[in-house]
Amino acid sequence: MKRVVSDPKVNIAKIKNKLLELGDMLPGHISEQWNVCGVAGCRCKDVKNPKKHGPYLKLGYSVNRKSSSMFIREEDLVEAQKRIERYQEFKELNMQLIEAYVDLARKVGFAKKKFNGGKHE
């Protein structure tokens, strides 16, 4: 997504509005998982032709440097994918916001007036 260089204050306000409109989001990625159960004699433990249980959909993610995962029901897959896409957009918008604040600092310097969400104080 290309950034249009104009008034940094206008860019900051636009980016903040976009961030507010994003909605629910999730970090991570979805993968399939196949499991082996603990039931003796189950097909998943067959010596010659084991057949694992699955596939199960699993969301893998990290938050605060801690990795975790959760299972996703098949009927929730589309919504989970949308939330992951929103998270990617969230990260992109945050980078644009940082760039806009750097542009603002370059344009107006570090004067005593502070820019606060579209208003000078």
Residues whose CB falls within 8 Å of the CB of residue 69, separated by 6 or more in sequence, listed in order: 58, 59, 60, 61
pTM: 0.76
Angle at 87 between CA 77 and CA 7, to 5 degrees: 145
Please, which pLDDT band fits residue 111 given cuts at 50, 70 and 90?
low
At 42-77, the pLDDT tens digits run: 999 988 999 999 999 999 999 999 999 999 999 999
Is the pLDDT at 120 greater than 60? The verdict is: no
Mean pLDDT of the chain: 89
Closest CA to 92 of 5, 13, 22: 22
The residue ranges of DSSP E strands in 15-65, in sequence order, are 29-35, 53-63
Stretch (H or E) spanning 90: helix 77-108
- Mean pLDDT, range 96-114, rounded to an integer: 84
Q: Which two tokens stand for residue 119?
A: 């208003």
- Which pLDDT score is estimated for 113? 58
User: In the predicted model, what is the mean pLDDT of residues 78-86?
Assistant: 98
Strand, coil or helix: what is 118?
coil
Report the percentage of the chain scoring pLDDT > 70: 87
**Cis peptide before 55, with omega less than 30 degrees from 0?**
yes
pLDDT at 5 over 60: no
**Residue 38 scores a pLDDT above 90:** no
pLDDT: is 15 or 1 the higher one? 15
Residue-range domain boundaries for the chain = 8-120
